[in-house]
Amino acid sequence: MSRPSILTLTSQVLRDPQAVVVAHDTPADLGWLAPRLLAISGVGAALFGAVVGSYRGGEQVLYAAMKLPILLWAPPLLALPAIHAAWRACDVEVSYRRLAVASLAGMARAGVLVSALAPILWLPYSVEVEYHFSVLLFAGMLVLAGLPGLTAIAGAIPAGGHRRWIAATGSLALIGLLLAQTGWLLRPFVARPTTAVALLRPVEGDILSGLGTTLTSSLGLYGDWDAGRDGLLAREPR
Amino acid sequence: MSVSNPALALPTSVALALPLPTSVELARAIAGYALLGGVAALGAGEAAVSHAPVGLVSAVGALALTVPALLVAHPFLTLRAAPQALVAAIARPFTRTGDVALGLVPTLLLFRATSGLAQLLLALMLVGAAGLGFSLAIRNLVQTEADASEDSWSVWKMTLLAWAWSGLAALIGARLGIGVLLDL
């Protein structure tokens, strides 16, 4: 069987990700496909990341371009074992390989779509919109591009089984939770122009405390943020 | 001796629609529940170590304490399904949700390493796994009775029994879990 070029593969992933999943069902296929799909999603996400980093400019462009692909890759990869087990619990037999190919195709689809959204993001960033609005725009576009990626994964699940809605809801909640925490760990993506550039912030707080602070700040209620350091990797400041 | 009332006749052959889990499947499920609790307690000090078996104790304890009661109530209500079929109908969701618990270990490990949300997430994960398990067990139990009985009255009784059993098992599981966490 002749292998498609990377451009053809990109087109296939956008048009019909299920066809990619069905056509690549052997271990050899996975070995050939995985690096290509990761490269497609990585390049797309990095382009988007560079635009996100352009809000602050300078080294932040490079940092955000490096981190965005990880944000796209980590949640599905971490959630894959639980998603596989949840569908199996509902008597839907789907192989790890099929689920892995579908996840990779979904990530590639989201990566390409998010890169297409980059110019739309750049436009308001270029006129220096307010910081909180720029963060919302960034998050909104990630969700917008991420949903078609998730449909690629959902489409790989065979019909049948019982209580499918539980597995579907659980899978979606798990990926959402992991996306939120991974985004929290890899922050900052959008940095204020006045702040110092940093690749990563220290491990502190969590996404829930961050959201709570953002909510109260957006209501004009500013206070001290208690950066609880409870994780194993968290360190007390010196 | 012939039995004139079909409701009193014992099941003569046991054709299990669902197979009983293998020892490997059982071991994997137990490992899943044990690891999930263990990961949440990782590096959290001596007190947290005693909390590690919370998932295992609540899941296994709830089944050990309530399945015998179900097996007693089932023939008492003149239902027809074989006891082995009932055990298989409950054991399969237990092993499958144990696999889910095992699959959730990497996620919980990430949260344990990077945040203080691991305990909260562990509770949510256990509740979610229990919800999935009970939902599947109720469905399996009702289907098992429907396969063994011909009258809708028996299926209706089995539905009530399955819901009552799952409610009892959920309460006992919660009690055991809270007992481990609060050292009761």
In tens, the pLDDT along A52-74 reads 999 988 899 999 999 999 999 99
A119 touches B: beta carbon within 8 Å: no
Q: In B, residues 145-174, which contact A (CB 8 Å cutoff)? A: none
Q: What is the mean pLDDT of residues B93-121?
A: 93
**Residue contact B128–A206, C-beta within 8 A:** no
Which of B42, B114, B126 should we substitute to test contact with A (largest number of A Cβ atoms within 10 Å)? Answer: B114
Confidence of residue A199 (pLDDT cuts 50, 70, 90): confident
> Could you check whether the bond before residue A188 is cis, i.e. omega within 30 degrees of 0?
yes
Nearest-CA distance B135 → chain A (Å): 8
B132–A89 CB contact, under 8 Å: yes
pLDDT attached to residue B64: 95
Average pLDDT over residues B154-167: 96
Tell me: pLDDT of B127 over 80.
yes
Q: A200 touching B, CB under 8 A? A: no
Give the per-residue pLDDT at A173.
92
Q: Are B129 and A104 in contact (CB under 8 A)?
A: no
Query: Which residues, including other chains, have CB under 8 Å from residue A76's CB and lie 6 or more apart?
Result: A103, A106, A107, A153, A175
pLDDT of residue A162: 85
**What average pLDDT score do residues B89-118 get?**
93
What number is the average pLDDT over the span A93-100? 90
Q: How many CB pairs under 8 A join A and B?
A: 88
Does the beta-carbon distance from B115 to A205 stay under 8 Å? yes
Which 8-state DSSP code applies to residue B183?
T
- Judge: B136–A90 Cβ closer than 8 Å, yes or no: yes
Q: Indicate if the pLDDT at residue B12 is higher than 60.
A: no
* Chain-centroid distance, C-alpha B177: 14
What pLDDT sits at residue A117?
95
> What pLDDT is attached to residue A4?
86
Task: Give me the helix-helix angle, A164-186 and A131-155, nearest 10°.
Answer: 140
Q: Rounded CA gap, A233 and A202, in Å?
A: 9
Of A163, A174, A177, the CB nearest to B139: A163
Name the residue with higher pLDDT: A92 or A219: A92
CA B39 to chain centre: 21
DSSP string, B64-91: HHHHHHHHHHHHHTT--S-HHHHHHHHH
pLDDT for the residue B119: 87
Residue of chain B nearest A210, judged by CA positions: B115
User: What total number of domains does chain B contain?
Assistant: 1
Please answer yes or no on whether A233 and B114 come within 8 Å at the CB atom. yes
Q: In terms of C-beta density within 10 A (0-12 exposed, 13-18 middle, 19 or more buried), how is residue B120 classed?
A: middle
Residue B4 has pLDDT above 70, yes or no: no
Q: Is residue B157 part of a domain?
A: yes
Domain hosting B167: range is 21-181
Provide the pLDDT confidence category of residue A222 given band limits of 50, 70 and 90.
low
Classify residue B9: in a domain, yes or no. no
**Cβ–Cβ of B135/A163 closer than 8 Å?**
yes
In this predicted structure, what is the pLDDT of residue A10?
94
Give the confidence band of B44 by pLDDT, cuts at 50, 70, 90: confident
* Shortest Cα distance, chain B CAs vs residue A3, angstroms: 33
- Rounded to the nearest integer, the mean pLDDT of chain A is 87
Give the Cα separation of B9 and B11 in Å (integer).
7
What is the percent of chain A with per-residue pLDDT over 70, rounded to a whole number? 91
Q: Which amino acid is at B65?
A: L
Instruction: Determine, yes or no, domain membership for B151.
Output: yes
Q: Residue A3 has what pLDDT?
A: 82
Cβ contact, residue pair B114, A203, below 8 Å: yes
A contact residues 148-187, partner B, Cβ 8 Å cutoff: 162-163, 166-167, 170, 174, 177-178, 181-182, 185
Amino acid B139: pLDDT: 95
pLDDT at residue B135, as a whole number: 95
Tens digit of each residue's pLDDT (9 = 90 or more) over A22-55: 888 788 888 899 999 999 999 999 999 999 999 9
CB contact under 8 A, A83 and B99: no
Q: Look at residue A14 and tell me whether its pLDDT is greater than 70.
A: yes
Tell me what pLDDT residue A228 has: 65
Nearest to B107 among A90, A167, A178 (CB): A178
Q: Domain for residue B59, yes or no?
A: yes
Q: Do B132 and A181 touch (CB under 8 A)?
A: no
Instruction: Please answer yes or no on whether A232 and B99 come within 8 Å at the CB atom.
Output: no
Residue B2 has pLDDT above 50, yes or no: no
